[in-house]
Structure 1
């Protein structure tokens, strides 16, 4: 239940997950089972708690990004480019 509430976007900012990714569909807190797959391009497929129908009701003009898809249960999945490593340039 905490995963569904914390990852759905329906709760206030009071929930504080340990790890969160900023993806093309929004912030996605990482929980057990959130990482679905990894490909040869260093991308990670992330399961979100966002429902496509809810997103469309919040922002009717919203369009599904090219790196996202809707799973069989109506939730969004999004590819996230993992860090390649090395030192950050400032």
Structure 2
């Protein structure tokens, strides 16, 4: 791997981390909307998918963040990060 390749890989991982942080924030907003108590972030996303689709917890918790975002594609339409988190 050369330096340019490393920098590309590094940017990819930073972008993936940023997308996961946004998913966490969406999960917290989703928990508030759904009235979940004592859960937020990715845990709220898991609860939502389990309840909505009847998926098994063991399957939902092993999904990668990109798979969770895909499963929530419709729900995330129009959602934006709250201004105080920007």
TM bracket (short chain): under 0.3
Q: Which has the higher contact order (CA 8 A, sep 6+)?
A: 1
Q: Larger helix proportion, structure 1 or 2? A: 2
Relative to its length, the structure with more strand (as a share) is 1
Highest Rg: 1 or 2?
Answer: 2
TM, length-normalised to structure 1: 0.22
Instruction: Calculate the TM-score normalised by the size of structure 2.
Output: 0.22
